[in-house]
Chains A and B, each alone.
Chain A
Amino acid sequence: MKYYTEDHEWVDVSGGEATIGISEYAAGELGDITFIELPSEDEDYIVGDTLATVESVKTASDVYAPISGTVCAVNEELSEDPGIINSSPEEKGWICKLKDFDTSELDDMMSPDAYTKFLRKLEE
């Protein structure tokens, strides 16, 4: 099940791992991604910490940890081809995976439907 934050990050929980990325909306707003500064494996993050930084030609955006946890995997492919975030932000463009997280932190997040509604409000 995917959850979304107001900062346009998504979290996909399955089998004790939470996969994190940025939403299609965010990727669109940023434009062509040119570089991503990935977190390091085995590092702990608290919700709200800067997990990664995504750069495009004209912008730099911080990706905040939507939940607390320890990084157990990092999408190394993004180093070679940051454009994956543009072509497949919500699937192949995942940034990292966390383990040992607190599921209660997911309670504040939005379901895919709620996020869609949230985006519509933003556009107004």
Chain B
Amino acid sequence: MKLIFEQSRPNRRAYRLDANDVPAGNAIPADMRRREPAALPEVSELEAVRHFTNLSRKNFGVDSHFYPLGSCTMKYNPKSHEQIARMDGFASLHPMLGLLPGGEKLTQGALETLYFQERFLSELLGFAETTLQPMAGAHGEFTGVMLMAAYFKDRGETNRKVMLIPDAAHGTNPASAAQAGFTCREVLSDAEGNVDLDDLKKKLGDDVAGLMLTCPNTVGLFDKNVKIICDLVHQAGGLCYCDGANANAIIGRVRPGDLGFDVMHVNVHKTFSTPHGGGGPGAGPVGAAEILRPYLPVPRVVRNADGEYELRSDFPKSMGHIAPFYGNFGVLLKSGAYMKTLGREGMIRVSENAVLNANYLRVKLAPLFDQKINRMCMHECVFSASRQVKNGVHALDIAKGLIDRGIHPPTIYFPLIIPEALMIEPTETESLETMNEFIEAMIDIADQAANNPDALHEAPVTMPVRRLDETQAARKPELAAL
């Protein structure tokens, strides 16, 4: 399909402005003028809309396809939320308005939505206070780890330079810890993907700031030792960070703060229904225990004695600013709407159905694929394609086979501790019928893997492109049409 640039024709236009109603002229220095206009597209509005519409039709999305990507929580994105984000009173609000003298009075509605969500998350997850400023999950991780660093620096414990990270962790964990100035020390997992307690005890020490733990873990299981782990870390003088990527399994049922976690991030684009957008924008709110409160970023939304909302930055121990303003407000409107809609009773309905659905798939798929651990999982079940590999069919081939059957593949090759991993997360918004269709597709694929593996090596064959040469893309990168 042609690039938009290839469709351009000289002088074709889409959008037109009104005529200028002030005298012509400007203050741009003559020698600073761009000599050649930027080679941007020149197409009509219809051509533009048709181009992008046709592009969109090449994508799988949750609205059109079952999307059981493990750990991504591809749940339904409510349309009412889209309406809210576009309400003029929110969409056209300049962020500086809240910071102008007298400006807070004009942004009370916006500030209230932030305040509500901070309180809701703090209560839901078991923390003293929450910041909504991190602009993504990884950004939330960074913020959380920085809170830990600020805490130890404030106490003069500058020797605590090590962060313990399980070998099963997502790559953002060590990357975030490194950005916050820590060196990473790996903690081994046992066969269930849980922290090996003996190894943890060995790795703890005076130089350890804390442990980053994904709960439920990256293999989709709940570790009954979580409380013990947090206690061990605290006894050694460290803090516990909860990576809440898998929070969909526990909201309303478990409060990580109660288990002993001192700080936690969640991903609103996973657990709280905001759209993934093809890879962002999202938001990564961070909950903090009382001891970490002073270090939270500013500005903070505070409710004064008159019940009015203020933006305050007079927190001398704060880590400072991590966002230009208050976070991804337009995204947070959607997660806030979700919290209001589901409310107290709805939260646990989410996790219990997410877990039920995942276990249903686990039991139904168990005859087809190897499973390292076979017990009640949380919101996702992990299989290995090790059986199929014996016939030359890898997790990748299974994924491509699903694409031909109109289903987005599950997560593959993560977590790293399971070879040929297939991580399946249906979420609570899928129906029994959809899940049964998925099971049928997997039965078909398992059958092909056994009897006609070449068909899967060729997959996909029904999409706009066949398998792509990623080696070539990395060896001779072509990254822009100039």
Chain A residues packing against B (C-beta within 8 Å):
32, 34-35, 55-58, 82-83
Contact = CB atoms under 8 A, between A and B. Distances in A.
A53 to B, nearest CB: 13
Given A34-B471, A57-B470, A57-B471, 12 more contacts: A32-B471, A34-B474, A34-B475, A35-B474, A35-B475, A55-B474, A56-B471, A56-B474, A57-B474, A58-B413, A82-B475, A83-B475
A35 B472 CA distance: 11
Interface of B: 413, 470-471, 474-475
Contacts of B474: 34-35, 55-57
Closest 4 CB pairs of A and B: A34-B474, A32-B471, A57-B470, A34-B475
A31 B367 CA distance: 32
Nearest to B413: A58
B390 to A, nearest CB: 16
A8 B197 CA distance: 32
Contacts of A83: 475
Nearest to A82: B475
A57 to B, nearest CB: 5
15 contacts: A32-B471, A34-B471, A34-B474, A34-B475, A35-B474, A35-B475, A55-B474, A56-B471, A56-B474, A57-B470, A57-B471, A57-B474, A58-B413, A82-B475, A83-B475
Contacts of A56: 471, 474
Nearest to A83: B475
Contacts of A58: 413
Majority SS at the chain A contact face:
loop
A83 B475 CA distance: 9
Contacts of B475: 34-35, 82-83
A32 B471 CA distance: 6
A34 B471 CA distance: 6
A113 to B, nearest CB: 30
Nearest to A86: B471
A32 B475 CA distance: 10
B147 to A, nearest CB: 30
Contacts of B413: 58
A32 B470 CA distance: 10
Nearest to B474: A34
Nearest to B476: A34
A34 B413 CA distance: 20
Nearest to A57: B470
Contacts of A55: 474
A35 B474 CA distance: 7
A82 B470 CA distance: 14
Nearest to B470: A57
A122 to B, nearest CB: 15
Contacts of A82: 475
A111 B138 CA distance: 45
Interface-centre pick from B413, B470, B474 (highest chain A CB count, 10 A)? B474
A58 B471 CA distance: 10
B322 to A, nearest CB: 28
Contacts of B470: 57
A38 to B, nearest CB: 15
Nearest to B475: A34
B412 to A, nearest CB: 11
Contacts of A32: 471
A83 B474 CA distance: 11
Nearest to A55: B474
B175 to A, nearest CB: 13
A57 B474 CA distance: 7
A55 B471 CA distance: 10
A55 B470 CA distance: 12
Interface-centre pick from A32, A55, A56, A82 (highest chain B CB count, 10 A)? A32
B40 to A, nearest CB: 32
A76 to B, nearest CB: 16
A77 to B, nearest CB: 13
A58 B413 CA distance: 11
A106 to B, nearest CB: 30
A83 B471 CA distance: 10
A55 B474 CA distance: 9
Contacts of A57: 470-471, 474
B376 to A, nearest CB: 32
A5 to B, nearest CB: 21
A62 B470 CA distance: 21
B445 to A, nearest CB: 23
A57 B470 CA distance: 7
B399 to A, nearest CB: 14
A124 to B, nearest CB: 15
B397 to A, nearest CB: 16
Contacts of A34: 471, 474-475
